[in-house]
Chains A and B, each alone.
Chain A
Amino acid sequence: MPSSLSRLARRHLGVVLPVLVLSAAGVAVAAGAQDAIDARHAHFKAMGADFKAINEMLKSGTATSAVLLPRIHDVQAAARQLPSWFPAGSGPDSGLKTHAKAEVWSDAAEFRDADALLVARLDKLEQIASHGDMAAAAEQAHVAGQACGACHAKFRVKD
């Protein structure tokens, strides 16, 4: 019995081995994609929490540069890293559940421009906040927030 099995395996090795290797690779890729999806989900939630805190501080009328700037710096850092959260293969083509639309990769230039807009508006917010003009900071925070919405409209699946 064993010898006929080993003959069977050897005869079909040309098929069996590649299938095993590709499956293992597929599992690895899927695992990598899931990690990327989970990581960016956490990053975006942290950005949302930062924006919420920034808006609440500005709305309360008690905001100072000292309390605002750390949160603004966090969002600026995140916005700059944002494109790196979308490695190839971590989109809907991965077959995994993600809010990212295929356009993130198919319209990559536009995606980078949308991120650049956010970075620019956040840099302006940082400037205004560090000079202490809280009324202007509130306005710029609103403008920066609109960059979030604009990118989501094109690149994020609606909830």
Chain B
Amino acid sequence: MALVRVRIWDWPIRVFHWSLAAAIGFAWWTAETGRMQPHRWAGYAVLGLLAFRLFWGVAGGDTARFASFVRGPRTALAYARGLFDRTRPPSAGHNPLGGWSVIALLATTGLMVVLGLFAVDVDGIESGPLSAWVSFDVGRMAAQGHALIFDGLLGLIALHLAAVLFYLVVRRENLVGPMLHGFRRLARDPGHRFASPARVALGVVLAAALAWWASSGFRL
């Protein structure tokens, strides 16, 4: 049976994925090296990217929509039981387990951003754009939460990378290629629909506006 080369990831999803990875990496490095102004810019970039992803998750192409890949625990468990079954064909988008890892990564990254907005450092010098809304003590708690949750995020990212490696080595499924060029070879074309350029533009404008507004302290 000949396999068909099918587009499963549109370019907005692919650009989002790699941009988020780069933004998180840059945010990490700037925090470690005390470059707090670029760190805040990285945070605004993450905020904008997450906002775009949320929009795309309801208005984007089929494979990006949360409704298409978020499944209940029974489905996820059933899928997990077949992880070592190499005869099972590759998914035409996010599989039920991958779907939940997407949710976990987005939620944790989102929590990082929210805490960062209010964070104050130990001497009250460097702080997030909304730190003036809270007391020094609350800002310090936000900063400590921000640092603590990051360890959780690193764990999730490690798990994500381990999963990609597992798929590559054990299931002989390359997940990196499709996330770069967008295509996967499947038994048949599932007929995914992808969103128009106008919708991409709308998402980008909304996300950028939100990120810019956050950077100004949500000033009205």
Distance A47 CA – B62 CA, assembled complex (angstroms): 53
Say if the beta carbon of A45 comes within 8 Å of chain B: yes
The interface residues of chain B lying within 8 Å CB-to-CB of A145 are 123-125
Q: Is A107 an interface residue (CB 8 A)?
A: no
Closest Cβ of chain A to B124, distance in Å, is 4
Chain A residues with Cβ under 8 A from B131's Cβ?
A: 52, 56
Q: Is B16 an interface residue (CB 8 A)?
A: no
Task: Classify the secondary structure of A's interface with B.
Answer: helix
- CB contact under 8 A between A48 and B132, given known A145-B125, A149-B125, A159-B144: no
- In the bound complex, CA of A94 to CA of B147 (Å): 28
Q: 1/0 per residue A37-59: CB within 8 Å of B? A: 00000001101111111011001
* Chain B residues in 8 Å Cβ range of A51: 123-125
A44 CA / B136 CA spacing, docked (Å): 11
The answer, yes or no, to whether B91 is at the interface (CB within 8 Å) is: no
Give, as a whole number of angstroms, the nearest-CB distance from A59 to chain B. Answer: 8
Of all chain B residues, the one with the shortest Cβ separation from A146 is B125
Q: How large is the interface on A (under 10, 10 to 19, 20 to 34, 35 or more residues)?
A: 20 to 34
> Would you call B122 an interface residue if the criterion is a C-beta within 8 Å of the partner chain's C-beta atoms?
yes
On whether the beta carbons of A49 and B125 are closer than 8 Å, the reply is no
Decide yes or no whether B19 CB sits under 8 A from chain A: no
Please, how many angstroms separate the alpha-carbon atoms of A114 and B71 in the complex? 58
- State which of B34, B136, B144 has its C-beta within 8 Å of the C-beta of A48: B136
Most B-side CB within 10 Å, residue of A44, A47, A52, A148: A52
The CA-CA distance from A56 to B131 in the complex, in Å, is 9
B135 close to A (CB within 8 Å): yes
Chain A nearest CB: distance from B127 CB in Å? 7
A152: Cβ under 8 A from any B Cβ: yes
Distance in angstroms from A26 CB to nearest chain B CB is 31
Taking a contact as CB atoms under 8 Å apart, the answer to whether B123 and A149 are in contact is yes
Give chain A residues whose Cβ lies under 8 Å from the Cβ of B120. 48, 52
Q: 1/0 per residue B125-158: CB within 8 Å of A? A: 1010001100111011000100100000000000
Which 6 A/B pairs are nearest by Cβ-Cβ distance? A51-B124, A52-B124, A145-B125, A49-B136, A148-B123, A48-B124
State the A residues within 8 Å of B (CB): 44-45, 47-53, 55-56, 59-60, 142, 145-146, 148-149, 152, 156, 159
11 other contacts beyond A45-B140, A59-B132, A145-B123, with CB at 8 A cut-off? A45-B137, A48-B122, A48-B123, A49-B135, A51-B125, A53-B124, A55-B124, A55-B125, A55-B127, A56-B131, A145-B124
